[in-house]
Amino acid sequence: MKFTEEHEWLRPEGDVVVVGITEHAAEALGEIVFVELPEADTEVSKDDDAVVIESVKAASDILAPLDGTIVEVNEALVENPGLINEDPMEGAWFFKMKLNDPSEMDGLLDENAYKALIG
């Protein structure tokens, strides 16, 4: 598993990468009340807005962590945005994407580097 400085996690599964937000991010956002997911088959570039989430505290954009194509979205989050607070690291993934260049994962943070980032 890899992490971004924007508090996203990326978990490789075969030839795709599953993307979600970390427990730290979910706690900072507070109670999530709305999620807007991208369409499957959407091409994204690193740092494009990919997901909109709204909590009782604020609205936030989740950025595409790398260049690629979104191949699947987690529709369960639309029906139950609270899953993000309940299970941010497993069941509450946002989307799966096929990376243009899988070697770009090497430039992301590992778990120890992410833990150091959030202190």
Task: Walk me through the domains of the chain, giving residue ranges and CATH numbers.
Answer: 2-102 (2.40.50.100)
Neighbours of 110 (CB within 10 A): 12
Q: How far apart are CA 69 and CA 13, in angstroms?
A: 15
- 50 close to 63: Cβ distance less than 8 angstroms: yes
Q: Is the pLDDT of residue 95 over 90?
A: yes
Edge-to-edge strands, sheet with 49-55: 32-36, 49-55, 59-63
User: Tell me: the pLDDT tens digits for 5-26?
Assistant: 999 999 999 999 999 999 999 9
Give the per-residue pLDDT at 58: 87
